[in-house]
């Protein structure tokens, strides 16, 4: 015959200790994740901004049988920004495209998209003074490994704008768009 010998009362097992321990563990995990993860995707720095503002005169051929174009001119503004970008994440980041938003003194905004490096040769043939301004590009498809730094040029074209429009601007903001990350922006000097 077996007897159950009870020397002390059974302790009460409530849910409160288990809930308290679970909440404490979750708070510790959240604090560790917050402290370990980087708070910024990348760091952008503008090293140099160069301008080229050609004025192109288009004249008709006096020997042409039909006058297709009247004598006219065209102003363009090329902006070459040398940018250094450092990846602060623990995974690679991929550049998808670049844009430059120029806000004029009257508050109107013009936006230009980065010129693809595949057109650099043709642009340099038309405008040789751009050649010394252009170096290795930062453009669509570039990949930055974790912790790496990449320096390159971004070429933007504002058709119809003059250097005076740049000089009297309110602001110029360069935005580098990234795949699966938030865009990175910096104000140009």
Higher pLDDT, 16 or 151: 151
Q: Report the alpha-carbon distance of residue 156 to residue 115 in Å, rounded.
A: 6
pTM for the complete prediction? 0.75
Residue pair 81/46 in contact by the 8 Å Cβ criterion: yes
H helix count then E strand count, the chain: 3, 9
Strand partners, 171: 103
Higher pLDDT, 57 or 78: 78
Confidence at residue 24, expressed as pLDDT on a 0 to 100 scale: 92
CA 128 distance to own-chain centroid: 28
Q: Which of 36-50, 83-97, 120-134, 139-153 has the lowest mean pLDDT?
A: 36-50
User: Is residue 100 exposed (0-12), middle (13-18) or buried (19+ Cβ within 10 Å)?
Assistant: buried
What residues does each domain of the chain span? 42-59+70-187
Joined tokens for residue 124 = 């340099």
Work out the number of other CB atoms within 10 angstroms of the CB of residue 53.
Answer: 17
In 21-137, the DSSP E strands lie at 42-52, 55-58, 72-87, 93-103, 109-113
Mean pLDDT score, 30-49: 84
Q: Report the alpha-carbon distance of residue 113 to residue 174 in Å, rounded.
A: 10
Q: Is the pLDDT of residue 71 over 60?
A: no
Mean pLDDT score, 137-158: 93
| % residues pLDDT > 70 (the chain) | 84
Residue pair 176/184 in contact by the 8 Å Cβ criterion: yes
Q: Is the pLDDT of residue 132 over 70?
A: yes
**How confident is residue 175, by pLDDT bands cut at 50, 70 and 90?**
very high
Mean of all residue pLDDT scores within the chain? 87
- Topology annotation, domain 42-59+70-187: Immunoglobulin-like (2.60.40)
Confidence at residue 59, expressed as pLDDT on a 0 to 100 scale: 65
Q: DSSP characters for 131-175?
A: GGG--SB--TT-EE-TT-EEEEEEEEEEET--HHHHHT-SEEEEE
**How confident is residue 61, by pLDDT bands cut at 50, 70 and 90?**
low
**How confident is residue 3, by pLDDT bands cut at 50, 70 and 90?**
low
Work out the number of other CB atoms within 10 angstroms of the CB of residue 178.
Answer: 19
């Amino acid at each position: 015959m077996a007897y159950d010998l009870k020397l002390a009362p059974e302790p009460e097992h409530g849910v409160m200790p288990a809930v308290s321990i679970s909440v404490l563990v979750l708070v510790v995990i959240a604090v560790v994740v917050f402290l370990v993860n980087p708070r910024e995707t990348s760091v952008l720095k503008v090293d140099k901004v160069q301008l080229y503002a050609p004025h192109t005169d288009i004249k008709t051929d006096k020997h042409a049988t039909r006058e297709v174009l009247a004598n006219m001119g065209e102003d363009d503004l090329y902006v070459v920004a040398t940018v250094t970008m450092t990846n602060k994440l623990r995974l690679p980041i991929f550049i998808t495209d670049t844009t430059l938003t120029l806000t004029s003194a009257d508050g109107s905004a013009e936006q230009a998209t980065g010129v693809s490096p595949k057109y650099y040769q043709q642009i340099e043939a038309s405008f040789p003074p751009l050649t010394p301004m252009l170096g290795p590009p930062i453009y669509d498809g570039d990949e930055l490994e974790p912790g790496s730094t990449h320096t390159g040029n971004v070429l933007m074209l504002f058709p119809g704008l003059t250097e005076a429009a740049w000089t009297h601007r309110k602001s110029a903001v360069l935005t580098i768009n990234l795949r699966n990350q938030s865009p990175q922006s910096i104000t140009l000097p």
